[in-house]
Amino acid sequence: MLVTTLLAVAALTRIAQSQQISNGQIFTPGIAIVDAPQPDTPLGGDTLQVALDVSSDGKLSSEHDTEIYNITIFLSSYTTGKNLTITNGTASAGNASLGNIMLQEPGSTVKHVNWIWPDCLVGDGSPTGNSSRGSYNVSIRQNFRLNGTDAYTIFDLPIQVTNSIPEASYRASCDALNNPLLSPEVLAASANNFTQIASSTGSSSSTSSSTSSSTSSSTSSSSGEGLGDLKPDASSGDGIGAGEMLSWGGAIHWMWIAMFTWMISVCMS
């Protein structure tokens, strides 16, 4: 049994590291697929924009006892020490942090997160001095049920906060949004899977995929989009390419989460 489980872990890790991105879609260790932004995109403008396909590219079915309970998102950096709440399920005053994104855009399988950058990220260009700008991870945390098995996963997507963010009175204080920054080891121990995409700038953590046998739960007008050259926009149809490539990517994703579900059930038995 132990050998079988270890083989499953090794196979799952290989898939996670070699097949995470297909035709502009980023497969997380869970149900959601990231349509935007792309890894290491230089971002700015008035808001951080994240597009999540929460139907696993239209393949989810309630008949399979599968659903997303909630998704929480944080903006974190081991360089600056910041861990800012984007959404933890409850909206704060002025939408400084957002409410439950699964309840927005009813009927749409793509959820668009538009989060107003807080005050400490105002500026233009690369960070200088004590600036809080620079390399960050959009940390996407999914609490879900897949084929009757509950799971909690963490997925870190690197971005660069280097484009212009204008000063504005409506920007929330970073201190009000900041949380303790947990180490990768603590995060990995808290989730069934913790995956980080490598930053091409070399300024953030290397790619890693860690799987735990424990089952955890999670509490539940712009001055310009500021998106860089890698992916200039996002919409409900964005990131979906040619049929052959999409089918291949979808197959990899479902192979990934099927193995993931099986491995959890083996580890817990």
For the chain, which ranges sit under pLDDT 70?
1-19, 57-63, 202-269
Q: Give pLDDT, residue 29.
A: 92
Q: What is the pTM of this model?
A: 0.73
Residue 83 lies in a domain: yes
Q: Give pLDDT, residue 209.
A: 61
Q: Give pLDDT, residue 36.
A: 96
Residue 1 lies in a domain: no
* Distance separating the N- and C-terminal Cα atoms of the chain: 10
8 Å CB contact between 235 and 172: no
Q: Give pLDDT, residue 266.
A: 57
Residue 246 lies in a domain: yes
Strand partners, 247: none
Domain that holds residue 85: 7-268
pLDDT in tens, 226-247: 333 333 333 333 332 222 223 3
Which residue, among 102, 66, 69, has the nearest Cα to 261 in the 3D structure?
Answer: 66
Residue 75 lies in a domain: yes
Backbone angles phi, psi at 210, to 5 degrees: -125, 135
Residue 86 lies in a domain: yes
Q: Give pLDDT, residue 57.
A: 67
Residue 53 lies in a domain: yes
Residue 190 lies in a domain: yes
Report CA-CA distances (Å) from 206 to 61, 144, 156, 198: 34, 26, 11, 5
104's tokens: 């927005």
Q: How many domains does the chain have?
A: 1
DSSP state at residue 91:
-
SS3 category, 223: coil
Burial status of residue 239 (CB atoms within 10 A of its CB: 0-12, 13-18, 19 or more): buried
Residue 57 lies in a domain: yes
Q: Give pLDDT, residue 78.
A: 95
